[in-house]
Structure 1
């Protein structure tokens, strides 16, 4: 996290009246999806309006989509979503779990970077939607003397609706700067060996606590419209590869693990199989009463995992006759995850700085 005080000095050989400039450093800006400021109606409406107005997320014509969104969807959905957020809210901290976890991740990564690079780097986080905004954090880094910024969307897999829109917001911020820093964006890390190992270790740890091994592990990824895949988005293929690499790392048979997709929104077909339907089918048609589920596409637990998976999808499984449902938490600020993210950062800093 950035220090409140910013050291400044005059450039070498500058005239006496030259203003002091902040000491140059490298900014490492982590980015996640976002969170409402609260779960009340208006906080939820502001957040959902920003999120669902993003053309990367919903690419229908604004002439058709915006009237439907503003006059119909946003009259009822904020209350329903607010109730879901309330059920998982970190009431002690007064914020969503995603905010708490992302802050904890940033602190842990900042400690790692500090131990390697000292005060030559500055680590902070922003949200694509809501607060803290990408714009506010980019501006703060530039004012603190960051002449190079590594922008790191915390999505293991690339999708236009996640990584791309985060990058869009970042680059739009740079358009307002008179003196732009040099920048880099981080590639998806869905196949990075340390990420796969951290995932595998989280599964092994969870299974070690169970009396009976689950019949099957579902890797549930956030869905996107199938049309996006047909238009060239690589997300589906990257998710399938993560599942395969996880299975190989665990040493499992193909029958022990599957890929599914959750969070369908709107009338068109999304990537299948849908998690909420698949868990019911597994229980009713295949007779598998003991399953586990993890969410490799999420770097931190959030509404889609804590409420959708651990409440709605669990209910679908149990209603169909399932008996034992184990949700394996996201990697969050687990040391193995922090080490994996730090390794990705180190690789992307090459040529800019050395330990």
Structure 2
């Protein structure tokens, strides 16, 4: 007796094939494989899983072992990393994370916000039923590899990766892409992929920054004398080797000033989060806020256009450390403008870019 074969309609239902794909009888014993869907993967930097020293150490070890983040030869860097940094920095970093931790969900704000961005994007793409939206972190959990597996298990034959870094750097966008392709290298049947280009000069992004900034300034109880656009820094040697990050940041600030109709004295560009002894991109944010206060500036606000979601670098470093530096040096009023996060303006950016990059796929 011949084994039963699935009808074309049954084959479509079992495999998830779209109506425009040819189907036929499945051979006996053929595994049921879901296909025909398109994945969208939102990617951000990452976060420790918890506040304990072990969790923070695991996160820092993965982060600081990335050769794109620290370009020193391993033979020179690993004794410093394993002999000094991973024995001293986790406790301090854990204490800083504790200041901004989402206690209700027991996670970092970055994880909370990235999940919310994913859920809102999925809802906004409900008119594209074949599209599945997931999220993953370059370092820590949920990993990019686990997110790729989830998308594959749901039948995604194509994946659009969306690194949520407006300005490109080898230390951010490239590391996210590296990890995506490492995950694909382990798959027998790898999906087709696209990666979102940097969007530092996209009109929808510049307009979202301007609308968000205008709205928050209008609600402040004071008027800042000037605003700093503070971006995460990179070592100056990386820039000299050809990393375009500095150029992307400067152009973002220029376009934002033009959109707002401000002068270059009203919106300044600075760089934060330097690490180690070598020179990083300047001017430094902390040195700038201190200088401004000592020169008599009493009221400032800081925006972080390089971050798509608030995290330890914005909530603790800017709204904590730099606020303290400014006030201690003589400042009187300080405001941190939230990142775009999952706000209406922020989701406009993500949805607009994702729909464009899905063209021909969905």
TM class, shorter-length: over 0.9
In the alignment, structure 1 residue 290 sits paired with structure 2 residue 299: yes
Contact 1:10 1:20 in 2 (8 A): no
Q: How does 1:43-54 map to 2 (within 5 A)?
A: 43-54=55-66
**By how many angstroms is 1:255 displaced?**
1.3
Q: Which of 50, 71, 76 is matched with 1:64 structurally?
A: 76
Give the drift of 1:20.
2.3
8 Å contact kept, 1:10–1:19? no
For 1:10 and 1:62, the matched residues in 2 are separated by 46
The counterpart of 2:190, out of the listed 180, 185, 197, is 180
Bigger mean CA deviation after superposition, 268-277 or 64-73: 64-73
Q: Which has the larger radius of gyration?
A: 2
Please list the CA deviations of residues 176-226 of structure 1 after superposition, one character each: whole Å capped at 9, or x if unmatched: 111111110010011111111111111111111124321100000000001
The corresponding residue for 1:9 is 15
Matching of residues 16-27 of structure 1 within 5 Å? 16-17=27-28, 18-27=30-39
What is aligned with 1:317? 326
Aligned residues: 344
In the superposition, relative to structure 1, how do residues 314 and 183 fare at CA in structure 2: closer, same or farther (>3 Å)?
A: same
In structure 1, distance between residues paired with 2:290 and 2:122: 42
Query: 1:61: how far off?
Result: 0.7
Counterpart of 1:329 (choices 327, 338, 343) is 338
CA contact (8 A) 1:88 1:303 kept: yes
- Tell me the TM-score normalised to structure 1 length: 0.95
1:238-281 CA-to-partner distances (Å, cap 9, x unmatched) read 00011111111111122100000000001100000000000000
CA RMSD, aligned part only?
1.2
Task: Work out whether 1:265 is the aligned partner of 2:271.
Answer: no
Does the CA-based 8 Å contact 2:16-2:36 persist in structure 1? Answer: no
- Quick check: 163-172 or 20-29, which moved more? 20-29
TM-fit CA distance, 1:24: 1.3
Q: Do the aligned partners of 1:295 and 1:330 also contact (CA within 8 Å) in 2?
A: yes
Structure 1 residue runs of 5 or longer lacking an equivalent are 1-6
TM-superposed CA distance for 1:113, in Å, is 1.2
2:201 aligns with: 191
- Do structure 1's residue 240 and structure 2's residue 246 form an aligned pair? no
Match of 2:106 in 1: 94
Deviation (angstroms), 1:9: 3.1
SS of equivalent to 1:253: coil
- Give the match for residue 106 of structure 1: 118
Give the drift of 1:155: 0.5
SS of structure 2 residue aligned to 1:8: helix
Check the 8 A contact 1:8/1:23 in 2, yes or no. Answer: no
Contact 1:35–1:129 at 8 Å: present in 2 too? yes
Q: Deviations over 1:69-125 (max 9, x none)?
A: 1111111100000000011000110100000000001000111111x312x000000
TM value normalised by structure 2: 0.93
Contact 2:212/2:345, CA 8 A, preserved across alignment: no
- Per the alignment, in what secondary structure is the counterpart of residue 298 of structure 1? coil
Gap runs ≥5 in structure 2: 1-12, 18-22
Partners of 2:316 and 2:192 in 1: CA distance? 40
1:144 is matched with 154
